[in-house]
Structure 1
Amino acid sequence: MDITEIGGIAGWAMELTERLGAPGAGVAIALENLFPPLPSEVILPLAGFTAARGDMSLVAALLWTTAGSVVGALALYCVGALLGRERTVAIAARLPLVKISDIEKAEAWFARHGVKTVFFGRMIPIFRSLISVPAGVERMPLGTFLLFTTLGSLIWNTVFVLAGYLLGENWHLVEEYMGIVSKVVVAAVVLVVVRFAAVRVRERRGQGRHAR
């Protein structure tokens, strides 16, 4: 697949990697964390394919993309830290069907499983970028955040860069298959949100009947 065949943001990211090599891939991945429409499922296999052609080394591709992942995640961590708990609670409290108790439960859950969430979250489409924000809000120790973000990102990046490296000209197949996975994740999230909303609506109706 030629880069001219893909337009928009993905095409721009691919061209950046083609022109700058490993540093370009790192920049693109850093931006992917901040702007999820930039697909890592395209950028990473392309970096692997570029390495297979000899335009950059495989090690450089892995190091630069992982560095980009960490930089992007750190930026979102800072956003969460600046937002802080009080502002987050105030914003969430204004949302329909959301209770303060829900937020407190989420905080307690993150306190118990935050490290695993950051580590494994870096390997889940959609959430791999967003997970950095609650880590910042909860002020997870920065060293811990960076360590497990780096480890999780390295695993994710290695899988996709190597896939592109091994697939060669067919590197774009990775994005096609991962597109299916992303849709499944989105569908699962929608179902969870719908179920949550349905439970809250029933609770409010029940409270209304008791009030009468």
Structure 2
Amino acid sequence: MLEHLDLNYLLATYGYWAVFIGCLLEGETILILGGVAAHQQVLKLLPVIAYASLAGMLGDQLLFWAGRYFGDRLLPRLHKKQAAIDKITTLIHRHPTVSIFSVRFLYGMRLLGPMVIGASRISPLKFACINAIGALVWATLFASAGYWAGEFLQRVLGDLKPYRLPIALGVVGVVVAVGLIRHYRSKRRQP
């Protein structure tokens, strides 16, 4: 079955959708892979950045509005995330613009951050503008990192076509491993 799977066709046909959906959810991994695919000329780098920016911005806007309308009821139920909520709340009060821009770059804050910001009553227009800039910077950085990772891997391995699936699985594996290590360490720190 796998030998009949044409990965180039799948990437070219569904790659931009995969980038969009992956970045709508939380997509550094898929964005890096999109950058690698752009390096391999299966996708184009600028559309990868555009789809990722749009999805990242849309996802955060939805979370912002969820926080705006349901934050008073929803956030108190997230007992296990109280330390993160407190961190974001402090950051919002001290540096509201920086918090809007940077929350997508802070580990563990990508989904919770926009909800807390929405609940804080920051102006929706201010959030939308800064969120758009943050999403564009985020998408550009991670897609470019993937593109340059593709360049490095090509120098080391030569033609990457035979290695595309192992590279994708390797990136996903590393991201999962790092996430599990961070999760385990955060659990050990909690009393």
Q: Structure 1 length normalisation: TM-score?
A: 0.62
Shift of 1:112: 2.3
Q: Which residue of 1 aligns with 2:62?
A: 75
Cα distance in structure 1, aligned partners of 2:86 and 2:174? 37
Partner deviation per Cα, 1:153-176 (whole Å, 9 max, x = no partner): 333322321232233347545545
- Counterpart of 1:21 in structure 2 is 15
Q: Identify the residue that residue 156 of structure 2 maps to in structure 1.
A: none
Deviation at 1:64?
0.8
- Which amino acid in the other structure matches residue 128 of structure 2? L
- Superposed CA offset, 1:98-138 (max 9, x none): 8xxxx899756532233322322211233122211101111
Q: Which amino acid aligns with 1:70?
A: M
- Indicate the RMSD between aligned Cα atoms, in angstroms: 3.5
Q: Quote the residue 1:190 is aligned against.
A: 187
2:108 corresponding residue in structure 1: 126
Assess if the C-alpha contact under 8 Å between 2:64 and 2:114 holds in 1: yes
Unaligned runs of 5+ in 2: 151-159
Quick one: distance in 1 between partners of 2:143 and 2:88?
34
Relative contact order, CA 8 A, sep 6+: which one is greater?
2
Paired with 1:105 and 1:42, the residues of 2 have a C-alpha distance of: 25
Q: C-alpha displacement at 1:45, in angstroms?
A: 1.8
The answer to whether the 8 Å contact 1:29/1:68 transfers is yes
- Structure with higher Rg: it is 1
Alignment of 1:1-212 (within 5 A): 18-30=12-24, 32-33=25-26, 40-85=27-72, 87-88=73-74, 91=77, 107=89, 110-168=92-150, 169=160, 172=168, 174-179=171-176, 181-183=178-180, 185-187=182-184, 189-190=186-187, 194-195=190-191
TM-score (norm. length: structure 2): 0.67
SS at match of 2:107: coil
Classify 1:17/1:140 alpha carbon distance in 2 versus 1 (closer, same or farther; 3 Å).
farther
Please give the alpha-carbon distance, in whole angstroms, between the structure 2 residues aligned to 1:155 and 1:90.
31
- Alignment length (residue pairs): 168
